[in-house]
Structure 1
């Protein structure tokens, strides 16, 4: 895994004024910890204040600040779009871009975004995405992760299977010069996948944006400049 290109260990979090949550009679210790973390998460508070559907929006905001992913983009596919935070960022940064998102979960309507409630792994999904977009994309975003089963190795393999499918899709449909961003786990892309990306893109880097929780194993691979 490459060093974090954002540098440093500051995640933008503070312990000042930390709120404690009492364990309610019907609330488990785990749910209490989750609620306490949410109440004390500055990204959650910022998302509420700025109208984003999830704190995850800031992962894309920070990746864009570092790599200029959204600059000049006109046609975007958002894989794993729910609840819609990344699509909101794209819409705000590039209001004229065509955007199509897909997810197994239902997503409340987003102005200017076509939403497909279906499995990206279904054989018909790639063609449906391009048909709805109306053109070849110049950016593919993937924040997909498989539902966890509690077994670390199995969860990793399931999520990397989604990443592999997204990589294959990106290589097939991206216009020359297009970019691809995908969530991976600590350790990054495996050597074979990394080789494929480096063969098909001008630059390939890994990064962990500050908005990614400190204890999370997620990283992002950023492949830019799709070769013709």
Structure 2
């Protein structure tokens, strides 16, 4: 037995059971400075730094009053919103359970079901001026399929944003490999005065993720 009380042979056998990809992920997590910084500062995930960096560049949270966080788990983005806009009403949604965050309403449900938009708006008690989405579909290992599944979530998030946002509002969403597809980009440009793509410094260099930032929502009547 080791000093931890575990059989070293058992630890070795457990390590052997790991796939090469999971071993690489574990090694990357252990050595990632953003992971270490997130733990030191009390953020629930390294993803918090992505929103912090996007906010520094685009001033997303400066005047936020009502915020919707799509794909809230584990809660890092909501923590950032809570800190940067302490007076804002915040509601988040995710299939995964999320530990409570003071001042944040969390809905454990599928954003893709018909009842989700009304549930979010009901919890927020008014039109949001910021919708953020860090959603990504679970990967199956087939690049094209994974991309299409994630873009399906982005399309749903865009539809929610342009249906619910208050005039002047903003929308932020994770996209992949080359950014937003042409049709979706045209929809955003039609509905917002500014649409840009950005890859925050904390996004891993080997990751294909980017973010689309749409600001200055025109409102339903003006966009028509």
Number of equivalences:
206
Cα shift at 1:91: 0.1
2:214 pairs with one of 202, 205, 223: 223
Structure 1 unaligned spans of 5+: 1-22
Question: Which is richer in helix?
Answer: 2
Alignment map for 1:9-88 (pairs within 5 Å): 24-27=12-15, 28=18, 29-88=20-79
Is 1:158 the equivalent of 2:163?
A: no
Counterpart of 2:165 in structure 1 is 174
Deviations 1:153-199 (A, max 9, x none): 11100110010011011001000000000000011111111011000
Q: Using the alignment, how far apart are the partners of 2:21 and 2:93 within structure 1?
A: 30
Structure 2 unaligned spans of 5+: 1-10, 220-224
1:82 is paired with a residue whose SS is coil
Cα shift at 1:25: 3.0
1:26 is paired with a residue whose SS is helix
Tell which structure's C-alpha radius of gyration is larger: 2
Q: Using the alignment, how far apart are the partners of 2:204 and 2:55 within structure 1?
A: 18
Q: Using the alignment, how far apart are the partners of 1:124 and 1:35 within structure 2?
A: 37
Cα shift at 1:30: 3.1
Counterpart of 1:194 in structure 2 is 185
Runs of 4 or more consecutive aligned structure 1 residues displaced over 4 Å after TM superposition: none
Counterpart of 1:147 in structure 2 is 138
Counterpart of 2:4 in structure 1 is none
Q: Using the alignment, how far apart are the partners of 2:22 and 2:198 within structure 1?
A: 29
Structure with the greater relative contact order (CA < 8 A, sep ≥ 6): 1 or 2? 1
Counterpart of 1:116 in structure 2 is 107
Q: Using the alignment, how far apart are the partners of 1:125 and 1:36 within structure 2?
A: 37
Is 1:135 the equivalent of 2:126?
A: yes
Cα shift at 1:149: 1.1
Cα shift at 1:31: 2.9
Deviations 1:5-44 (A, max 9, x none): xxxxxxxxxxxxxxxxxx9431224333222211211100
Q: TM-score, normalised by structure 2?
A: 0.90
